[in-house]
Structure 1
C-alpha cells in the first residue's frame, strides 16, 4: 500500500511540474488574482452559459408591468421578461427565469446562483460597489404615491417621520430611509398600494411607470402621485463584479444596442407602458 501511494505521489508531482512548464496538454488550474470565479477549464462566465445553453435570470414576477403573471394564462410576462428573453436570444441561449424576491435576486447574482437579474434594477453608486452593470436599457422616475385626499406630502422631504412600504433591498426602500421615513417591507406592488389605501402607511415610493400602470389597470381614483423625483432612473442588468463577466457584459451591451437599433426595445416598451421608456 505504501509503495503504491508513493508512486501516486510521484506521478502527481510530475504532473504538477509539467503544468508549471506550460504543457499545452494539461488543464490550466491557475486562478487569476482578482477573479474569484475563474474555473479549472479557463472558461469565463459567457463561455459557461453558452456551454449550458441557457442563462438563468432572476425576476420577481409580481411587479407589473415589468415582471408579472398574465391573469388569464398565468404566464410570466412583462417588459423586463421580454427584454431579457430577447437578450438571451441574441446570445444564442435559452432564457431560464427564476422567480425570487427582489433582494434574493440581487444576492443570487452576487453569489453566482443566477447569471443575471431583469427586474427594473436601477443603477446606484452603492450598487456599483457590488455589481458590474450593463448599459441602461430603459429610463424612469421615482414617485411618491399617497391617498388622493392627503395633503401632507408634496415632496420627498415631507416623508421625514412618516411611514412608507416597499420591497426589501429596493432602491425605493433606501430612498424612504434616506428621507427619514420608517419603511415596512412587502413583496408586491399591490401590497404596497393596499397599505397606502387602508392607511397602514402614509405613502409608497415606486417607479412612475408602475404607478401609472396600477392606476390604469385598477381604475382607482383613491391614490395619486404626490411627488416626482427629477433625477432619471437608469434601468440596467446587474452582473457579479469581476473580470469573469467582462465578455458577458460586452455581449449583453451589444444585444441591447442591436435591440434598440432594430426598434425591438421600443416595441416592447410601447406594448407594456403605452410609451417608449427606452430613450432617455
Structure 2
C-alpha cells in the first residue's frame, strides 16, 4: 500500500469514526422517533390481570387492545419519523398494559376532543393520554391511575432562585404562565395571598409563542416559568437550559392523578389497575417513566377510580 493510499485510508476511517460518534451523540441527545421503538419496555403477560377481563367483554378487535393516542408533544406522544406511528411516554404505558393482558397493541391517532366519545361509543377500548381524573369525568369513565399530575416551576440554569416550595417563594417574581390553565389559577391565588400578607405580588406574564417565552426566560425578562411538569422536565433534559426548582399537584391544594380512561362499567378498569401494579412492583413501570424523564411523577400504586378533582 502506497503512502498516499495509507493516508486516504486513515482519513476515510477517521471520517467514519467521526460520523459514528456524531450519530451516537445525536441519538443520546434526542429521543428515539423511529416507529420500531427498539428500546420500548416490553413485558410478559400477567395472568392475574388477564383473568379480570370479563369473559363476555368484546374488544374493538379480538386479540388487540385498541387505544386512543393523541400525537402532539413529547414526552406524551408525537408521530414517529414515518409520520403515522404514535411514540412517546403514553404509547409506552399503553404497551405495558397491552403486554400485561396478553394483547397486541393497536394505537389510533386522534384529536384530543375525540377521545371521550370514542371511548363511550366503543370505538376504542381505552384512551391513554395525560387524562386527569375528575369527579365529572368519573360519571362517564372508569380510571386506572398511572402517574401524578404535576406542575413545575422552571428557571434558567444560572438563576439565583433555588427553590419554590410555597406561595411566599413567588413574591415579587416575574412568572410566565399560560392563560386559562390550572397553573394560572394557582399562581394568581398565590399572588393574592401574598398581597394579603403584605408581600410583593407576582408579575404574571403570558406568551403565545414558545420561542418568545424561552427568550424572555433566558434574557431575564422573566424569573420563572410555571407549566406542566412533564413537558418542562422533558424539555429541560433535552436542551439543558433550565432546571426545576419546585413541583406541585396540578390540582393544588387537591391531589391530581393521570389515568387510563375506559368506558364506565365496561369491566376493564380492575384488569388495567392490576396490570399496572404488577409493572410498578417489578420495576418496568419505573423504566418507562425514566425513558421520558417522568420519574418525578411516579406513583407507588395504581388505583381504580380514586377521588378526582372536584367539579368546578
TM-score (ref. length: structure 1):
0.59
Pairing 1:145-224 to 2, within 5 Å after superposition: 164-165=177-178, 173-174=181-182, 176=184, 193-194=210-211, 196-197=213-214, 205-207=227-229, 209-220=230-241
Q: Is this contact kept in 2: 1:143–1:226, CA < 8 A?
A: yes
Query: 2:114 pairs with 96, 104, 111, which one?
Result: 104
Distance in structure 1 (CA, Å) of the matches to 2:279 and 2:149? 19
Query: 2:69 pairs with 49, 52, 59, which one?
Result: 59
C-alpha deviation, 1:48, in angstroms: 0.8
Pairing 1:28-177 to 2, within 5 Å after superposition: 47-49=57-59, 52-70=62-80, 76-134=86-144, 136-143=145-152, 164-165=177-178, 173-174=181-182, 176=184
Cross-structure match for 1:38: none
Gaps of 5+ in 2: 1-52, 190-205, 217-221, 301-312
Sort the Cα spacing of 1:130 and 1:175 in 2 relative to 1 into closer, same or farther, 3 A: farther
- Structure 1 residue matching 2:262: 3-state secondary structure: strand
Sort the Cα spacing of 1:146 and 1:84 in 2 relative to 1 into closer, same or farther, 3 A: same
Sort the Cα spacing of 1:225 and 1:125 in 2 relative to 1 into closer, same or farther, 3 A: farther
Cross-structure match for 1:275: 295
C-alpha deviation, 1:49, in angstroms: 1.0
Sort the Cα spacing of 1:144 and 1:271 in 2 relative to 1 into closer, same or farther, 3 A: closer
Q: Is this contact kept in 1: 2:60–2:124, CA < 8 A?
A: no
Cross-structure match for 1:264: 284
Query: 1:254 pairs with 263, 270, 274, which one?
Result: 274
Distance in structure 2 (CA, Å) of the matches to 1:195 and 1:126? 35
Gaps of 5+ in 1: 1-42
Report the RMSD for the aligned CA atoms in angstroms.
4.3
Cross-structure match for 2:42: none
- Structure 1 residue matching 2:152: 3-state secondary structure: strand
Distance in structure 2 (CA, Å) of the matches to 1:96 and 1:139? 25
Distance in structure 1 (CA, Å) of the matches to 2:141 and 2:292? 27
Q: Is this contact kept in 1: 2:60–2:66, CA < 8 A?
A: no
Distance in structure 1 (CA, Å) of the matches to 2:123 and 2:234? 31
C-alpha deviation, 1:86, in angstroms: 1.8
TM-score (ref. length: structure 2):
0.53
- Structure 2 residue matching 1:235: 3-state secondary structure: strand
